[in-house]
Structure 1
């Protein structure tokens, strides 16, 4: 008994638990409207047309996205989601937030309020909201309409001990005034204020700020002391400020902590990087720099990446790069440099890559650098290369000299480390046995789009055992198939295992009979003469086989065509037979339907209802006495009405009889002899009589008086049937009367 009680209690507990689970599952119907993850801690209700927080959210939700909806009032039920970590309410129509809107959200770390209708800081209640979220780290208020960034009355604009990232992009902020808007954010790390019509950069004080974004504003001047109020600033991006100038005088912009600086697309005339001793990366492209004087980067000893492309730099002195002892990448492309001083690169002992493309260089010169490995001198106006131009670059691996005006390479171009030489799209027309003799490590050579006509020899590359790629496309090769050197070089370039070029890239441009053909197509039979006779015999047999095959195909096609015609004729005959049968069936069905219609046609006499009592009283009385009926009648007291017979119009004439119920008329004679009953008698009615029956309800009485006008005086008693229902008439034939053709 005790065990039974325990089992009962256990079942009750299980049932209650199941009810709780079912209740939770009912609450999880939110996943039918929104997108949930497996454990239902992340809910995405974006782009659902919501006007309020959807029902069914429980407290275990950690990430909620209700962006891109039609919400106008800040949801008041968010306080129940006390486990919420990330909240996205962007792209709605919220214009203000109550003070206790984020109450109980102590775990909230990311709050996105961008793309709403906030116009003033007071409607946001920033202090109350931030104080209710002690764990908040990221606050996004971009794409609103604050217009200014200033302190509130008697208090800081924003107060939060945990906020690390503040985003105010595209907020129409024109000025920053009053006390620093960042002074209440004691742990701020990132501040973004891009794409605002901000004219001055001032009053930003924060000992913890590390990244500042001021791109695409209207800055024109920066106070040299502004960055001193940001002692922890590491990243500063001020690109696309087309009026911004940085002073190159004594009071230059300076920051000891700054490591990354981006002032591209501005109006900078001088780099002016002396005030950034710890700078690691500087991007100063698309500006108005015209010259680089000596000792311009003397204080930038830690700079590793320097981009000054797309400027108007026209001259470089030998001491310009002094102090850049750590730089590894230097970009001077798209400038107006005409000459690189021979020892200017020695000031950068760590330099590994330099870009000098799109300048006005006329020769490679005698560059010297102990660390330089990659040089890009493409698209300049270089027309010559010195024999010892590469000897001062002991670490050179890759040099790009494409899209220049080089017409000849010097013999014994020397470099013990060069691996990739790009000479594409120049004016080269000749190389010799010793052109690449002093390039033992050469791996790849490109001469695309030059003017070579004479086929090379494999002996040109006897000293290049590591050559793997040889690009010979788009040259004007003259194919002399009788030259043994051509066949030998073709095998050297295209055969495995040391294949260096694809055979389809080797095209003939002369003589005229092989223009546009590959080397193999033009010289195949010359290099393989035994194939010609064999091919002639094979061609004859091929033609014979083709003729026989064509004849067989014609015979086969004709046979198939005739069989198809016979089959089509059979199918056509069968189809015609089926059509005739269908027509016969339709004809019989039409005849049967006409017969049934004639049989079911009601007697027009039955369509006339008997007169009512009032109508009978209003009928005209007989002008003669009843005795005259016996005198003028034929002596017969009863008339038998015959069956009505009709003719059908159409293909066939069939006999149809319509049986009708003849009303029994009781005729009472006034004579003394005896009472006679009226006999039933058949009578034929013509179409004119049927029409008369249709005209007047007293037709029957007039007809009877006409037929019995010779009989004795008879008293006629008509018993009217009120609303007598029609009865189906059975087809009956008289025994004594044989149907004749005249009856139809």
Structure 2
């Protein structure tokens, strides 16, 4: 009796599992071997009615309304024993979900309204190798935000298109090989580049870097002969007269170190704007005149503005002190040619003014 009942239960479970697998593949796109499931743009708010096949390795849930703030939704993901790639781009996550997936190697959370890069402790000792937090609203990253991943195998990290100005956190990622910091708010190359560790590829394209001189970490690379490094710097606001050292550096190191050296152009000064750095000869640029001319022009403009302000103040004071005669008749005995008080100034004059009728 019990044998028959057990067989019946197993059959029901098998049928239920098969139906669930078929259902998810009707809703989403599945590869033939069910190792790839694509559930993008399905309007999903939760995973309550979805069971993924157990042999899925890559799961994409792009552009849904998932937050993973319930245990049930997280269990649906964590229970996949072979999952290695999870792509959750364009979901309103706001924080990094506290997944506990030991098999996960690639996690993509692009455009998910993140304001923090802090990884929950559930990711401790994870197998993550690649992480993308691009296209978010991360202003800063504390040194401890990636501390959970210190012992991970993380080699590639993308923080493209955020609002970062510094990268102290790099010291907590000892196995990191490549970092993408394009489209952030760096105004200079951060000092953390002087001790690169295992990092071999840096990308700082589309930032606000204006000066690269001998104080730059690149000078340390040059002195230590770090020829196995790559950095990308296109579309920054380089002032070429303040970056003469960097132009010389390109002649020595390019293209071994600066991967996009052929694309770098000057933003300033005006007479060099748009010119390729690799085409410039720093010994013939005659930047001295431009550098000395700037403070002179600023001084002239400042002086002119000062004169205008003083003139305006003087006119204002003069207007305030002008005799105000409107509404009063001339008092006998005062010679108008020599001016006179606009108002009575003695008790006798006050009494006289009080009895003299106004003339209309």
Determine the C-alpha separation between the residues in 2 that align with 1:375 and 1:305.
14
> What's 2:58 paired with?
305
Give 1:331 shift.
1.6
| Residues 250-649 of structure 1 mapped to structure 2, 5 A cutoff | 254-255=17-18, 258=21, 261-264=24-27, 280-291=35-46, 302-317=55-70, 320-321=74-75, 322-341=78-97, 344-345=98-99, 347-366=100-119, 368=123, 370-393=126-149, 394-410=152-168, 413-433=171-191, 435-437=192-194, 439-456=196-213, 457=216, 458-459=218-219, 461=221, 465=226, 467-480=228-241, 485-491=245-251, 493-494=253-254, 498-526=256-284
Q: CA deviation at 1:258?
A: 5.0
Tell me the C-alpha RMSD between the 2 structures: 3.7
Q: Secondary structure at the match of 2:168?
A: coil
Conserved? CA contact 1:315–1:337, under 8 Å: yes
* Structure 2 counterparts to residues 97-112 of structure 1, below 5 A: none
The residue that corresponds to 1:581 in the other structure is: none
Report the alpha carbon displacement of residue 420 of structure 1 after superposing the two structures with TM. 1.6
TM-score, normalisation: structure 1: 0.31
Structure 2 CA distance for aligned equivalents of residues 279 and 352 of structure 1: 18
Q: CA deviation at 1:450?
A: 0.7
The alpha-carbon deviation at position 431 of structure 1 amounts to 3.0
- Post-superposition Cα deviations, 1:157-194, rounded to whole Å, max 9, x if no partner, equal xxxxxxxxxxxxxxxxxxxxxxxxxxxxxxxxxxxxxx
Q: Provide the C-alpha distance between the structure 2 equivalents of 1:315 and 1:420, rounded to a whole number of angstroms.
A: 28
Q: Is the 8 A contact 2:233 2:260 kept in 1?
A: no
Residues 562-605 of structure 1, C-alpha deviation per residue, up to 9 Å, x if partnerless?
A: xxxxxxxxxxxxxxxxxxxxxxxxxxxxxxxxxxxxxxxxxxxx
Taking a change above 3 Å as real, the CA distance of residues 353 and 466 of structure 1, as seen in their structure-2 partners, is: farther
Matched residues in 2 for 1:520 and 1:307: separation? Answer: 43
Alpha-carbon distance in structure 1 between the residues aligned to 2:144 and 2:193: 13
**In structure 2, C-alpha distance between the alignment counterparts of 1:372 and 1:464, rounded to whole Å:** 31
CA spacing shift, 1:432–1:377, aligned 2, 3 Å: closer
2-side partners of 1:355 and 1:279: how far apart?
20
Q: Which structure features the higher share of helix residues? A: 2
Larger Rg: 1
Q: Deviations over 1:606-661 (max 9, x none)?
A: xxxxxxxxxxxxxxxxxxxxxxxxxxxxxxxxxxxxxxxxxxxxxxxxxxxxxxxx
How far apart, CA to CA, are the structure 1 residues paired with 2:257 and 2:160? 24
User: How far off its partner does 1:360 sit?
Assistant: 0.6
Q: 1:448 to 1:484 in 2, by over 3 A?
A: closer
Structure 2 residues not aligned, in runs of 5+: 1-10, 287-360
| Alpha-carbon shift at residue 323 of structure 1 (Å) | 2.1
| Aligned-residue offset at 1:444 | 1.5
Q: CA deviation at 1:356?
A: 1.1
Residue aligned with 1:406, SS:
coil
Deviation track 1:679-698 (CA, whole Å, cap 9, x = no partner) reads xxxxxxxxxxxxxxxxxxxx
In structure 2, the CA distance between the partners of 1:359 and 1:527, relative to structure 1 (3 Å rule), is same
Kindly indicate whether the alpha-carbon contact (under 8 Å) linking 1:328 and 1:350 is maintained by their aligned counterparts in 2: yes
Report Cα offsets for 1:9-53 as digits up to 9, x if no partner: xxxxxxxxxxxxxxxxxxxxxxxxxxxxxxxxxxxxxxxxxxxxx
Question: 2-side partners of 1:304 and 1:358: how far apart?
Answer: 23
Q: SS state of the match for residue 202, structure 2?
A: strand
CA distance 1:525–1:466, change in 2 (3 Å): closer
**Aligned to 2:219, what secondary structure does the other structure show?**
helix
Using CA pairs under 8 Å that are at least 6 residues apart, name the structure with larger relative contact order, 1 or 2. Answer: 2
The superposition leaves residues 264-315 of structure 1 with CA deviations (integer Å, 9 ceiling, x where unpaired) of: 469xxxxxxxxxxx9754433222222457xx87x96544232222211134
Instruction: Find the residue that maps to 1:509 and give its secondary structure.
Output: coil
How far apart are 1:256 and its partner, in Å?
7.8
Deviations 1:322-365, CA, capped at 9 Å, x for gaps: 32332111121121111114xx23x2111111221121111211
Preserved contact between residue 330 and residue 353 of structure 1 (Cα < 8 Å):
yes
The number of residue pairs the alignment matches comes to 260
Distance 1:365 1:492, change over 3 A: farther
CA contact 1:432–1:460 (8 Å) conserved in 2: no
Preserved contact between residue 338 and residue 362 of structure 1 (Cα < 8 Å): yes
Whether contact under 8 Å (1:443, 1:469) holds in the other structure is yes
- Quickly say closer, same or farther: Cα 1:484–1:476, change in 2 above 3 A: closer
